[in-house]
Chains A and B, each alone.
Chain A
Amino acid sequence: MKSKKTAVAEDDIGRDIRLELFRMQLELRLCEKRAFDLFLQNMIKGTSHLSLGQEAIAAAFGVAMRPDDYTFCTYRGHAHTLARGASMSGVLGELMGRECGLLGGKGGSMHLTDVSKGAMGSYAIIGAHLPVAAGAAWSAQYRGTEQVSVCFFGDGTTNIGAFHEALNFAVIWKLPVIFVCENNLYMEYTPIHTVTAVEHPAADRASAYNLEKIVVDGNDADAVYRTATKYIDRARKGGGPALIECMTYRHSGHSRADPAKYRPEGELEKWLERDPIKIYRERLLGLGIVDATLKDIEDEVNQQVNEATEIAKASPPPSLDGIHQHVWADGGASWRN
């Protein structure tokens, strides 16, 4: 009988990637939890939409993507931006409206962007970024760079026109773009099945665009990673787009303002049993990775979040000069002579 350690080594994912997936999920989880704590301390203003419970998807794609690939995500985009390597202090600083924020305090929680890392923006208008992601894929195709564009969105997005325009467009031009629907069962406060004509809001529409129906367990980082790798690789080689529906669940409400009282009793508890980080930790232990290794990662990530928090807290508010900067490419805001 093979030892468990050998099983991990021979597996298609392997030990190193698995530890990376574990670490990445943990970074997203602990940073989001910290964001929530900072809300409670009134250090974060405005609104914010957390990915607690949905981390496996952003993490698995983040690990599967090439550094020069493009990410487009939604206002629930802290995790996806971090998963491309954006700095944690930059994310927390932006949420807190500090100078060190990724956007210098001019975008806030819903618009996190780090172009230097391929995180091409978080979009707060439902559906808007699907055609934009297709456009980045068109650019990659035209330039011959073999970059892939990955576009994350929620189940609610599947009922808006831009979703359908972008899918058709990406297919007819055979663009290297992966559309990833994170189906967390609720469009804001309303159960998605009560407002959608099909059971799987994204995957059941795939056939209308000559695409394969793909549904994945979005709480299983390995499953998402395998799917991501397969379709990203295919797109990179000129095989065209894919539409992937990842089944998952939001542990908290839609936004800061939502206590999520509309959820039936027991639903959250059932999904907490399937917490992506909990099941992944158990899996790694089962595969023979020792607990001390995972604890070391947990300690390191905890420390990373603490340090990022301190950097963000110490950062001053943005300079008022920024108000009139960067409307135009010349750096200014002038509309007249």
Chain B
Amino acid sequence: MAELTYRDAVAAGIAQEMARDERVVFLGEDIAAAGGVFKATVGLLDKFGPMRVRDTPISEQAILGAAMGAAMTGLRPIAEIMFSDFLAVCWDIVANEIAKSRYMTNGQVQMPLVIRTANGAGSRFGAQHSQSVENWAMMIPGIKVVAPAFPADVKGLIAAAVRDDDPVLIFEQKSLYPMKGEVPDGEYVDELGKARVLRRGKDCTIVALALMVHRALAAAEILEKEHGISCTVVDVRSLVPLDTATILAEVALTGRLVTVEENPRLCGWGAEIASIIADECFWELDGPIIRITTPHIPLPSADQLEDNTIPSVERIVREIREKID
């Protein structure tokens, strides 16, 4: 085990797969010579050369279109969209083309590609560079969606995504890039579609994703130590495929579900999980489902405003105390 930052784990995951398979190529804005605006891809150009690690113009439709064309014809490209907000300018390629081509052609078209993007708040970038848009992707049949919370998961899920024969969208939470964690040495491949139970309690099950996993864990500590409420925390990790088996089992054990989402309120991923629990686990519930989300507003940028918009540790503690005590 080595200690790596979340951002170094990105480069480590990509490097592992590029070294293994020559069909893996990597393209995006400022990803090669500059090593990425978040410095998450430093060293890849030197290691693999300019034919495999390529800077592109600011042309998101061209980036994802090119990745798609390459994936259809024998390569396994990784494309970076610098900020997940920019997916809106190439959403046609994601939602209409990449996601649907295999189905519409009755299985003729292959689409083994990975899109990595920096998602989420915490960096004071305002409403067009801080959104959490993993729920946009979750709604589209034909794309797999993962959002790692820890450096080890970054490396392992990138590797799993590259090896998967379906298109995978990886949402990296940008304020986690400096975070350090243990990452397995040598070849490390995780599995798509698996949630992880990070701690077990008896009073409620908190289901969270990416940055919210860390806040849920911190809230669970406070709730246990200061208020005698013990919480299970589940890191969803993968929205599509969704590990409903783990989530259903963990909710059944405590009888309460709390989702903690960075998404704005309407149609955040937690709503889908709440719906599944209501459908399939209703008689195991001891009380209403609690959804803790960003309010249904665009994100403001100033420190105090952003901090008071996305779910904070304090707010998670408060809402759970109010509704579960």
* A165 CA / B93 CA spacing, docked (Å): 13
CB of A220 within 8 Å of the partner chain: no
Count of B interface residues, CB-CB < 8 Å = 51
CB of B92 within 8 A of CB of A326, answer no
B79 — nearest CB in chain A belongs to which residue? A135
B58 — nearest CB in chain A belongs to which residue? A165
* A134 CA / B56 CA spacing, docked (Å): 13
Which residue from B64, B104, B107, B276 sits with its C-beta under 8 Å from A111? Answer: B104
Q: Which residues of A contact B97 (CB under 8 A)?
A: 123, 125, 128-129, 132
CB of A131 within 8 A of CB of B62, answer yes
Which residue from B62, B106, B245 sits with its C-beta under 8 Å from A107? Answer: B106
CB of B61 within 8 Å of the partner chain: yes
CB of B218 within 8 Å of the partner chain: no
Encode contact with A along B74-106: 1 for CB under 8 Å, 0 otherwise: 110100000000000000110011000111111
CB of B32 within 8 Å of the partner chain: no
The stretch of A8-16, A48-56, A138-146, A292-300 that contacts the partner chain: A138-146
CB of A169 within 8 A of CB of B59, answer yes
CB of A135 within 8 A of CB of B104, answer no
CB of B65 within 8 A of CB of A335, answer no
The stretch of B5-13, B236-244, B281-289 that contacts the partner chain: B236-244
CB of A135 within 8 A of CB of B65, answer yes
CB of B70 within 8 A of CB of A136, answer yes
Count of A interface residues, CB-CB < 8 Å = 53
The smallest beta-carbon distance between B176 and chain A, in angstroms, is: 26
CB of A142 within 8 A of CB of B51, answer yes
CB of A74 within 8 Å of the partner chain: no
Q: Which residues of A contact B93 (CB under 8 A)?
A: 128, 131-132
CB of A166 within 8 Å of the partner chain: yes
CB of A120 within 8 Å of the partner chain: yes
The smallest beta-carbon distance between A66 and chain B, in angstroms, is: 14
Q: Which residues of B contact A72 (CB under 8 A)?
A: 69
CB of A70 within 8 Å of the partner chain: yes
Which residue from B56, B66, B242 sits with its C-beta under 8 Å from A336? Answer: B242
Q: Which residues of B contact A116 (CB under 8 A)?
A: 108
CB of A322 within 8 A of CB of B69, answer no
CB of A121 within 8 A of CB of B25, answer no
CB of A203 within 8 Å of the partner chain: no
CB of A128 within 8 A of CB of B65, answer yes
CB of B104 within 8 A of CB of A329, answer no
CB of A137 within 8 Å of the partner chain: yes
Q: Which residues of B contact A329 (CB under 8 A)?
A: 102, 110-112, 164-166
B69 — nearest CB in chain A belongs to which residue? A135
Q: A168-B57, A169-B59, A329-B112 are in contact. Are A106 and B103 (CB under 8 A)?
A: yes
CB of B274 within 8 Å of the partner chain: no
Which residue from A70, A169, A327 sits with its C-beta under 8 Å from B142? Answer: A327
* A166 CA / B244 CA spacing, docked (Å): 41
Centre residue among B56, B107, B240 by max chain A CB count within 10 A: B107
The smallest beta-carbon distance between A258 and chain B, in angstroms, is: 23
Q: Which residues of A contact B110 (CB under 8 A)?
A: 329
* A183 CA / B142 CA spacing, docked (Å): 34
Q: A166-B62, A169-B56, A336-B241 are in contact. Are A115 and B92 (CB under 8 A)?
A: no
Which residue from A104, A165, A326, A334 sits with its C-beta under 8 Å from B62? Answer: A165
CB of A115 within 8 A of CB of B51, answer no
Interface residues of A in 189-225 (CB under 8 A from B): none
* A328 CA / B109 CA spacing, docked (Å): 11
CB of A335 within 8 A of CB of B105, answer no
CB of B69 within 8 A of CB of A115, answer no
The smallest beta-carbon distance between B195 and chain A, in angstroms, is: 10
The smallest beta-carbon distance between B136 and chain A, in angstroms, is: 16
CB of A131 within 8 A of CB of B107, answer no
CB of B242 within 8 A of CB of A135, answer no
Which residue from A121, A140, A162, A173 sits with its C-beta under 8 Å from B61? Answer: A162
CB of A134 within 8 A of CB of B66, answer yes
CB of B244 within 8 A of CB of A336, answer yes
* A329 CA / B108 CA spacing, docked (Å): 10
Interface residues of A in 150-192 (CB under 8 A from B): 161-162, 165-166, 168-169, 172-173
Centre residue among B75, B92, B104, B164 by max chain A CB count within 10 A: B104
Q: Which residues of B contact A70 (CB under 8 A)?
A: 73
Which residue from A128, A130, A139 sits with its C-beta under 8 Å from B74? Answer: A139
CB of A149 within 8 Å of the partner chain: yes
Contacts beyond the supplied A128-B93, A172-B57: 17 A-B pairs with Cβ under 8 Å: A103-B108, A115-B108, A128-B65, A129-B65, A131-B64, A135-B65, A136-B69, A136-B73, A139-B70, A142-B51, A166-B61, A168-B59, A169-B57, A326-B103, A326-B106, A333-B141, A337-B193
- Which 5 A-B pairs give the minimum distances between C-beta atoms? A135-B69, A131-B65, A329-B165, A135-B66, A326-B107
A-side residues, CB < 8 A to B, are 70, 72, 103-104, 106-107, 111, 113-116, 120-121, 123, 125, 127-140, 142-143, 149, 161-162, 165-166, 168-169, 172-173, 322, 325-331, 333-337
What are 26 contact pairs spanning A and B, CB under 8 A? A121-B105, A123-B97, A125-B92, A127-B61, A131-B59, A132-B68, A135-B73, A138-B66, A139-B72, A165-B65, A168-B59, A169-B62, A169-B66, A326-B102, A327-B102, A327-B142, A328-B165, A329-B102, A329-B110, A334-B241, A335-B141, A335-B242, A336-B276, A337-B241, A337-B242, A337-B245
